[in-house]
Amino acid sequence: MSKKVRVRFAPSPTGPLHIGGLRTALFNYLFAKQNKGDFILRIEDTDQNRYVEGAEAYIIDALNWCGIFFDEGPGKESGYGPYRQSERQLIYRKYADQLIENGKAYYAFDSAESLDSHRKDHEQKGKTFIYNWHNRLKLDNSLSLSPEELEIRLAREENYVIRFYTPQDEVLHLTDIIRGNIQIDTNTLDDKVLFKSDGMPTYHLANIVDDHLMEISHVIRGEEWLPSLALHHQLYDAFGWQAPEFAHLPLIMKPEGKGKLSKRDGEKGGFPVFPLSWGDSVGYKEAGYFPEAVVNFLALLGWNPGTEQEFFKLEELIEIFNLERVHKSGARFDPEKTKWYNHHYLQEQQDSILINAFRPILLKKVAKEKAFDKSLLNNNDYIASVISLIKERASFVSEFWELGNYFFQTPGTYNEKVVKKQWKENTPSLLTKIANLLETLDGFSSSVIEEEVKKWIEDEQLTFGQVMAPLRLVMVGDLKGPHLFDIMALVGRAESVKRIRLALDKL
Ligand code: GLU
């Protein structure tokens, strides 16, 4: 590759970033880093009506949370800025003028009302109104006006827009890295507005001018922009600039497979569609996902490594990602799979991170649960040991309490069904003997308890079920949990014995 790789993520700050947008950012980032290039964040805020306060900060926070750090962008100038289009407003006009001078664009004075009535007229006849070669000479623009009339109307400062002059009867040959060659008949295109009457460029003009000035080498963006490719391609030609390479990423589809994934789907299915919370919508972060899990599942939405491998960290993705393996067809979103990824990254997480995430839950429980042994709260080693015993069953830290509450408090109740089935006439006498045995053990590690209890069961000629089920019931309050002797070793000898005696009293 001769030219330095420079790619950009160019969101419009019209609301929170959808995970589709986040995936676009991720793929741009991976491509840039793999090619030792630059990843640029450009805020496309030329549409003042759609501007939403806080959206830009949200986008930056979301990228940072995922570890997708930009090299250039708002607050990180590098000679190509500013990076907000609203701050570049004065740049664009001269490019629009240049196109007018070259005959590639023209002034159009049609009012919104008159365009609307044309549209309605067409609809009534079952047609679609397209502003282009077949009617532009009948409309109110500099092509249909005489030079004198035009001059007068410009001098009167009448409202106008600047439209691109799409040539007639041409076939455009476009290429897309993912989609290959694409042919477009220019007769199907409309003369898009490049510059608006409010003095602002439209997305199309600003986008092309900025990509050129910022020396963008590859435009990697969502499939929804594919219809704009023909115009963008023509704009590069009209300016006489070399166009970047283009790659249009497949849409992210609903879990059912048909249609684009929307905020509604998330609400219906109870899964996040935004990386961070926004208003009432809970984000992946707040729902307890690790950024590694989000990056991993996003990477595989529309791309595959060509192997069976499913777990990828950001660093590895930078090594092996390639645009050629991005699919053309939409990528079905699978909310269950996101949980599976989170389960995986939860197992890998450092103790300190898990403890910090679990602590607020424990603090809430301390305030509510009378039996909670407060002395355990500051015992990080203890909490880490609890986590290491239960995490295999968890996909989220929020499940830890349900899975391990009995490590922090003596069970006060027992699962009745289990009691009915497992609490036999001889159970109290067996458990009393076990309690006595525990008190005399030399050491209280899991393996010591296991060895001695098993030996005792054999000596007494009992079955394991006769002892183990009630013993678990009194330790946990139920028949669930990890290896029983691990539980007993961790809560300790005194607490284990206490739990047996308490149950003997209660049951
Ligand atoms: N501002 C456009 C968006 O919101 C950018 C499209 C592009 O990358 O060209 O997605």
pLDDT tier at 257 (50, 70, 90 boundaries)? confident
Is 78 a member of any domain? no
Q: Is 11 in the pocket of ligand 1 (CB under 6 A)?
A: yes
Among 47, 207, 216, 236, say which to mutate for ligand 1: greatest number of ligand atoms within 8 Å of CB.
207
Task: Please state at what angle helix 484-491 crosses helix 380-390, rounded to 10 degrees.
Answer: 170
Q: Whole-prediction pTM value?
A: 0.93
The one-letter code for the residue type at 256 is: E
434 and 398 part of one domain: no
Q: Decide which of 327, 347, 367 is a domain's last residue.
A: 347
Q: Is 46 in the pocket of ligand 1 (CB under 6 A)?
A: no
Question: Atom 10 in ligand 1: which residue has the minimum CA distance?
Answer: 11
443 and 493 part of one domain: yes
314 and 387 part of one domain: no
Is 84 a member of any domain? no
Catalytic one of 76, 196, 260, 263: 263
32 and 101 part of one domain: no
215 and 66 part of one domain: yes
* Cβ-based neighbours of 374, under 8 Å, separated by 6 or more: 366
Q: Is 132 in the pocket of ligand 1 (CB under 6 A)?
A: no
Q: Is 85 in the pocket of ligand 1 (CB under 6 A)?
A: no
Task: Specify the CATH number for the domain of residue 168.
Answer: 3.90.800.10
Is 303 a member of any domain? yes
> Phi and psi of 448, rounded to 5°?
-65, -50
190 and 97 part of one domain: yes
- Show the domain range for 149: 90-195
* Cβ-based neighbours of 397, under 8 Å, separated by 6 or more: 288, 346, 354, 357, 358, 361
Task: Specify the CATH number for the domain of residue 304.
Answer: 1.10.1160.10
Would you say residue 186 has pLDDT above 70? yes
User: What DSSP designation does 221 have?
Assistant: E
**Chain segment 55-100, per-residue pLDDT in tens:** 999 999 999 999 999 999 999 999 999 999 999 999 999 999 999 9
Is 82 a member of any domain? no
Q: How far apart are CA 99 and CA 109, in angstroms?
A: 17
Query: Do 254 and 265 touch, CB atoms closer than 8 A?
Result: yes
Q: Decide which of 347, 366, 399 is a domain's last residue.
A: 347
Task: Specify the CATH number for the domain of residue 230.
Answer: 3.40.50.620
Is 422 a member of any domain? yes
Question: What separation, in Å, do the N-terminal and C-terminal C-alpha atoms of the chain show?
Answer: 77
Burial of 122 by CB count in 10 Å (0-12 exposed, 13-18 middle, 19+ buried)?
middle
Burial of 400 by CB count in 10 Å (0-12 exposed, 13-18 middle, 19+ buried)?
buried
Quick one: pLDDT at residue 472?
A: 98
Kindly state the tokens that stand for 505.
Answer: 């009293």
Quick one: pLDDT at residue 3?
A: 83
Residues in the chain: 507
Is 334 a member of any domain? yes
The one-letter code for the residue type at 81 is: G
pLDDT tier at 2 (50, 70, 90 boundaries)? low
Is 85 a member of any domain? no
Quick one: pLDDT at residue 394?
A: 98
Kindly state the tokens that stand for 254.
Answer: 């609903």
Other beta carbons within 10 angstroms of residue 193's beta carbon come to 19
> Phi and psi of 315, rounded to 5°?
-60, -40
**Chain segment 307-361, per-residue pLDDT in tens:** 999 999 999 999 999 999 999 999 999 999 999 999 999 999 999 999 999 999 9
What is the H or E stretch that residue 173 is in? strand 171-176
64 and 212 part of one domain: yes
Query: Do 40 and 72 touch, CB atoms closer than 8 A?
Result: yes
Quick one: pLDDT at residue 473?
A: 97
29 and 112 part of one domain: no
Q: For 101-170, list the strands marked E by DSSP.
A: 105-108, 161-164
98 and 176 part of one domain: yes
Q: Is 13 in the pocket of ligand 1 (CB under 6 A)?
A: no
Other beta carbons within 10 angstroms of residue 51's beta carbon come to 15
Q: Which residues pair with 7 in a beta bridge?
A: 39, 218
267 and 334 part of one domain: yes
What is the H or E stretch that residue 346 is in? helix 335-348
Q: Is-catalytic flag, 433? A: no
Is 254 a member of any domain? no
Query: Do 205 and 96 touch, CB atoms closer than 8 A?
Result: yes
52 and 10 part of one domain: yes
CA of 275 to the centre of ligand 1 (A): 18
Q: How far apart are CA 23 and CA 19, in angstroms?
A: 6
Q: Which residues pair with 73 in a beta bridge?
A: 76
Number of domains in the chain: 5
353 and 343 part of one domain: no
Quick one: pLDDT at residue 62?
A: 98
Q: How far apart are CA 44 and CA 51, in angstroms?
A: 10
**Chain segment 31-53, per-residue pLDDT in tens:** 999 999 999 999 999 988 899 99
Mean pLDDT of the chain: 96
Query: Do 297 and 311 touch, CB atoms closer than 8 A?
Result: no
